[in-house]
């Protein structure tokens, strides 16, 4: 697999069996993610966005359809150790320092690296994430925003091909959120990786990504794939740009129209 592959999702279907019925989380969903791009999925709660990420990380096997990296169908084995994941909650190990938490993914995926190299790599990512000097702090000594930075560093430390992020900033306050959005773009510029990002925040989606896929409520279907044409590096000032506002507004209307109990 080349670094930062393109991802093609074709007729992806995921069905869960519960005790009483079978639930279709994704029904023949198809869309493309260009190589080395930042792609955001926006959609109402419960529409299957997280399920999609789980298929991309190899944790969940699809019931139908396939996923192709760089045009080639992948199986779950090929995904092992290639995908970084950031959750809404930092999920750091409380008994490890920030540095040791970042090292966790390296310990598992880069066993051939020497401990000294792993240490240096982990320190590098923490520094880039703005946490120099906090390497030896424990998670409970860090703020929510800082913990999330450690989580992002952990996901990037082993330089994955693909980075999956499931509403990583949803639990943070607005100001921390905007700071981390900028940090994330900075971190991403230092590594070649394809990012698939989930959020409920439309401005966040427009600010961060090249491309936005708007999904409907369950059973999820693609409402529209939107290109966000702004140049990088992207600045805060962009939020006021009329085209930015226009795109955000368009997405909002799309989502309103597809809400189950939509009022017009």
Interface with other proteins (CB under 8 A): 54, 57-59, 79-81, 83, 85, 87, 89, 91, 93-95, 104-105, 107-109, 138, 140, 158
Q: Which is nearer to other proteins, 118 or 211 (CB)?
A: 118
Burial class (CB in 10 A: 0-12, 13-18, 19+), 114: exposed
Least distance to other proteins, CB of residue 85, Å: 5
Give the list of residues 6+ apart from residue 263 with CB closer than 8 angstroms, or none. Answer: none
Taken in order 243, 227, 39, 161, the sign of the CA dihedral is negative
Least distance to other proteins, CB of residue 76, Å: 9
Question: Which residues sit opposite 66 in a β-bridge?
Answer: 10
Q: Which is nearer to other proteins, 25 or 212 (CB)?
A: 25
The total of other beta-carbon atoms located within 10 Å of residue 34's CB is 16
**Tokens, residue 21:** 């019925």
Q: Which is nearer to other proteins, 162 or 212 (CB)?
A: 162
Contact 212, 251 (CB under 8 A): yes
Least distance to other proteins, CB of residue 110, Å: 10
Least distance to other proteins, CB of residue 14, Å: 15
Q: Which is nearer to other proteins, 156 or 214 (CB)?
A: 156
The DSSP call for residue 100 is H
Least distance to other proteins, CB of residue 32, Å: 22
Q: Which is nearer to other proteins, 104 or 182 (CB)?
A: 104
Least distance to other proteins, CB of residue 129, Å: 19
Instruction: Indicate the SS3 state at residue 69.
Output: strand
Which ranges of the chain does DSSP label H, i.e. alpha helix?
49-56, 76-79, 98-109, 115-128, 144-156, 174-189, 202-208, 242-258
Q: Which is nearer to other proteins, 81 or 203 (CB)?
A: 81
């Amino acid at each position: 697999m080349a670094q930062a592959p393109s991802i093609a999702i074709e007729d992806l279907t995921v069905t869960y069996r519960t005790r009483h019925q079978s639930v279709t989380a994704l029904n023949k969903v198809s869309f493309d993610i260009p190589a080395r791009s930042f792609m955001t999925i926006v959609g109402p709660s419960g529409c299957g966005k997280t399920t999609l990420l789980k298929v991309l990380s190899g944790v969940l096997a699809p019931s139908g359809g396939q996923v192709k990296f760089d045009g080639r169908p992948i199986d779950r084995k090929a995904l092992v150790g290639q995908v970084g994941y950031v959750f809404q909650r930092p999920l750091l190990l409380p008994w490890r320092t920030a540095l040791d938490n970042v090292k966790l993914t390296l310990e598992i995926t880069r066993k051939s690296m020497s401990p000294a190299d792993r240490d240096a790599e982990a320190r590098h990512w923490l520094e880039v994430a703005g946490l120099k000097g906090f390497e030896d702090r424990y998670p409970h000594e860090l703020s929510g925003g800082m913990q999330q930075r450690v989580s992002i560093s952990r996901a990037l430390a082993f330089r994955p091909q693909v980075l999956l992020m499931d509403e990583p900033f949803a639990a943070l306050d607005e100001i921390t959120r905007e700071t981390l959005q900028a940090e994330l773009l900075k971190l991403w510029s230092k590594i070649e990786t394809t990012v698939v990002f989930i959020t409920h925040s439309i401005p966040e989606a427009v600010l961060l990504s090249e491309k936005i896929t708007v999904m409907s409520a369950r059973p999820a279907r693609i409402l529209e794939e939107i290109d966000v044409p702004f140049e990088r590096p992207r600045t805060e000032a962009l939020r006021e740009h009329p085209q930015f506002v226009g795109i955000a507004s368009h997405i909002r209307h799309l989502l309103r129209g597809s809400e189950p109990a939509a009022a017009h």
